Amino acid sequence: MVKVADVDFAGYPCLHISTDHLSLWVTKEVGPRVIGLSLPGGENLLAVLPEAKSEYPGQETYYFRGGHRLWYGPEKPETTYLPDNQPVDIQKRHQGVIITQEVDRPTGIQKSWEIVFSDAEARIKIEHKLSNQGETDFSLAPWAITQIRPGGMGIFPQKTGPDDEHGLLPNRHLVLWPYTDVQSPYIHWGNRAIFVEARMTSGALKIGFPNPDGWLAYALEGTLFLKEAGFDPEAAYVDRGASSEVYCSSDFIELETMGPYRQLSPGETIHHVETWSLYAEGSWPDEIEEIYRGHAEK
């Protein structure tokens, strides 16, 4: 059974949505943001960043705040860092909520999320929607970003099987940002997965890749956060084809998924769905447990 209550959390008026398996906090007066996520009685896994901001000449200050947010790519100051400082509309549903933001100006894009809870396990589905409420076409890619507390290990699957019958063609590629040091001690290059250790003391790194496996994971203090999103091998993606990305700094690690890049005509909506799952220590999915333990034992 889904329970809903108005509370103050992490310095924000929030809606607390919970089941017997999972708790989640959504900001009401700014955002939208999921600012809190935990197993029952557990600590918040998400980063809370009240001072984090980005400023560009001629634009209002953008506040990151932490937690989960929805952007649209490609990343450009004039369209990515649009302030979201106004209250959101929240409609309660039987198994969750629908959250709608005011229309972004000047793009004409409106963001909304539908969050649906499972009664049987620590799992939610977030359907992100971007609607063109303007008067002209607008091209974009949905970009769902989750900022999580540092101190743990990110796990990012890599394709190992061949792409052709003889195994002669390349089967994967990576996308690197200019501030990423490939010799960073916080990146652990594996065959089945790339691991990012969220213990940086300075600087930042970012890695992206096409992700046919569709999942990203983060292990922190025994709890596993699993984030899943679909991948279309025939679609165009921004950021040199990356559908999954990880950004890490000293304050947080971000698990990011991208949807295909497409043109939205006035009145059209694009959907980008993520599924989140939390697993307590000892109950992780077998594949991820095997990958993670294999790395830990090296």
Q: Which residue has the tokens 């509370």?
A: 7
Domain boundaries, the chain: 3-296
- Identity of the amino acid at 41: G
pTM over 0.85: yes
C-alpha distances (whole Å) from 60 to each of 80, 81, 83, 257, 276 are 12, 9, 7, 26, 32
pLDDT tens digit at each of 298 positions of the chain? 899 999 999 999 999 999 999 999 999 999 999 999 999 999 999 999 999 999 998 889 999 999 999 999 999 999 999 999 999 999 999 899 999 999 998 899 999 999 999 999 999 999 999 999 999 999 999 999 999 999 999 999 999 899 899 999 999 999 999 999 999 999 999 999 999 999 999 999 999 999 999 999 999 999 999 999 999 999 999 999 999 999 999 999 999 999 999 999 999 999 999 999 999 999 999 999 999 998 877 7
**What are the tokens at 169?**
């063609």
Environment class of residue 267 by beta-carbon count within 10 Å: exposed (0-12), middle (13-18) or buried (19+)?
Answer: exposed
Q: Which residues contact 74 (CB under 8 A, 6 or more apart)?
A: 141, 238, 239, 261
State the fold for domain 3-296: Beta-galactosidase; Chain A, domain 5 (2.70.98)
Which CA distances in Å does 230 have to 118, 215, 216? 19, 9, 11
